[in-house]
Amino acid sequence: MEHRIEVGILGGTGMVGQHFVKFLQGHSWFDLKWLGASDRSAGKKYRNAMKWHLGGETPESVADIVVEDCKPGNAPRLLFSAMDASVATEIERAFAQAGHVVVSNSKNHRMERDVPLLVPEINPDHLKLVPGQQRARGWKGQIVTNPNCSTVVLTMGLGPLKPFGITKVIATTLQAISGAGYPGVPSMDINANVIPFIGGEEEKMQQETQKILGEFRGDHVEPLAARVSAHCNRVPVVDGHTVTISVELSSKPSLADLRHAFDSFTSVPQARNLPSAPARPVQYMEQQDRPQPRKDAERDRGMAAFVGRLRECPVLDWKFVALGHNTVRGAAGAAVLNAELMYTEGMLD
Ligand SMILES: NC(=O)c1ccc[n+]([C@@H]2O[C@H](COP(=O)([O-])OP(=O)(O)OC[C@H]3O[C@@H](n4cnc5c(N)ncnc54)[C@H](OP(=O)(O)O)[C@@H]3O)[C@@H](O)[C@H]2O)c1
């Protein structure tokens, strides 16, 4: 590309904000120049405004940036959002109203009728919601979102199977503790234990999956008519959400059909060679005990989904396991890939 693009982060001091900072280091298109947070942090150098929770030191290229209030003013046009959900609704809207492109990881706007909930390999055409959003809201900016960290794993696992007609899904998660942010789940609760409840997560997985796998219909997305049931569990794993999936498919494909669908799956980000796109977005692992979070979540920079153990299900038709990196493909990396796709669609001009 001819000109690099300056970007900022709303909520740059938080846990997801730090993942954005890390993921954007050395990015071939985007230069991180601006960081916004609450008035507790505004006015301080980034290195003094937060405690760095990730490996290594705070990257030098951002350590001396002075954190600003999350108010429209001198921020770059393209902003990634890792805002606290209690304030994201109004703050993201204010920036879109002021003409910013807000690529958000927060849950607040995901299910709004005119807001794309994007997985670039699965539903890139849902970006066509944006012109209607701009007309309806009377703003020149835009809000585009990425899904919840477990939904992205489920939808990448199901995406290659969509042509077979998905009618029922039962998905059970084994979710890493990093998905709960910092300080997250108390160690006395999670060590050597399983917590069979994550507030709001099952509803999010069910609704978001239907929207992502739904069809763009001019001014809205018609949700996939499949019944989706999610069971969400927190387990003592650091990074990587595992999802075991049973699925009913209307066209009754064979095992070979399904394997071919997984093995041949590729999409727009790969065709356009986007900087953060994994070469193979969904990778089938042959070993009967894979994928595993500790061994596989970090592969391909954490941007691919890994599937395995495809076999017949005596209740629905087929069952298999999927794994993805929750803070990369489920958060920062997802939003950055969204922005890369938007650039190639001319939406950042
Ligand atoms: N943790 C995860 O793995 C994960 C995964 C997927 C999605 N998410 C979503 O991502 C978002 C961020 O999560 P997180 O775990 O990074 O939260 P977090 O660590 O609590 O960070 C929240 C960020 O929001 C800022 N903030 C809070 N109140 C504000 C205000 N009134 N005005 C401006 N900025 C304000 C904080 O700034 P200060 O530092 O100044 O307080 C901080 O930068 C949430 O919506 C969450 O649901 C999280």
For 272-297, what is each residue's pLDDT tens digit? 999 999 999 999 999 999 999 999 99
Q: So what's the pLDDT on residue 286?
A: 98
Strand partners for 104: 81, 145
pLDDT band at 12 (very low <50, low <70, confident <90, very high): very high
Pocket test for ligand 1, best of 48, 83, 153 (most atoms within 8 A of CB): 83
Nearest residue to 68 via CA among 21, 36, 34: 36
Question: Which amino acid is it at 312?
Answer: E
Q: What pTM did the predictor assign?
A: 0.98
State mean pLDDT over 40-44: 98
Say how far apart CA 225 and CA 106 lie, in whole Å: 25
How much distance in Å is there from the Cα of 181 to the middle of ligand 1? 9
Beta-carbon contacts of residue 278 (< 8 Å; ≥ 6 apart):
270, 300, 301, 303, 304
Q: Which atom of ligand 1 is nearest to the CA of 70?
A: 33
Neighbours of 90 (CB within 10 A): 12
**Cα of 320 to ligand 1 centre, how many Å?**
33
Residue 146's φ and ψ, nearest 5 degrees, are -115, 160
Within the chain, strands assigned E span 5-10, 30-37, 68-69, 78-81, 101-104, 142-145, 166-174, 215-216, 221-222, 227-231, 241-249, 282-285, 305-312, 318-324
* Residue 88 reports pLDDT greater than 90: yes
Q: Is 105 in the pocket of ligand 1 (CB under 6 A)?
A: yes
Instruction: Return the pLDDT at 67.
Output: 98
Q: What is the pLDDT of residue 3?
A: 86
**Max CA-CA distance within the chain?**
60
In degrees, to the nearest 5, what angle opens at C-alpha 232 toward C-alphas 227 and 235?
A: 155
| Cα–Cα dist 163/160, whole Å | 7
Q: What is the pLDDT of residues 158-180, one digit of tens each?
A: 999 999 999 999 999 999 999 99
Q: Mean pLDDT, the chain, as a whole number?
A: 97
Q: Tens of pLDDT along 227-271? A: 999 999 999 999 999 999 999 999 999 999 999 999 999 999 999
Over 90: is that where the pLDDT of 193 sits? yes
Q: How far apart are CA 41 and CA 36, in angstroms?
A: 8
State the catalytic residues: 149, 241
Give tens-digit pLDDT for 122-134: 999 999 999 999 9
- Per cent of the chain over pLDDT 70 is 99
Q: What is the dihedral of CA 207, 184, 20, 334, to 10 degrees?
A: -20
Which residues have a Cβ under 8 Å from the Cβ of 160 and sit 6 or more positions away?
A: 261, 262, 265, 282
pLDDT at 120 over 80: yes
Q: Identify which of 61, 15, 56, 5 has the alpha carbon closest to the alpha carbon of residue 37.
A: 15
For ligand 1, whether the C-beta of 107 sits within 6 Å is: yes
Predicted confidence at residue 172, as pLDDT, reads 99
pLDDT, one tens digit per residue, over 304-343 is 999 999 999 999 999 999 999 999 999 999 999 999 999 9
pLDDT at 205: 98
Nearest ligand 1 atom to the CA of 42 is 40
Residue 16 Cβ < 6 Å to ligand 1? yes
Structure token digits, residue 38? 């609450």
Percent of the chain's residues with pLDDT above 90: 99
* pLDDT exceeds cutoff 80 at 1: no
Question: Is the Cβ–Cβ distance between 88 and 79 less than 8 Å?
Answer: no
Nearest C-alpha neighbor of 243 from the set 324, 179, 315? 324
**Does the pLDDT at position 212 exceed 80?**
yes
CA–CA dist 16, 22 (Å, integer): 10
User: pLDDT-derived band of residue 349, with 50, 70 and 90 as boundaries?
Assistant: confident
pLDDT of residue 292: 98
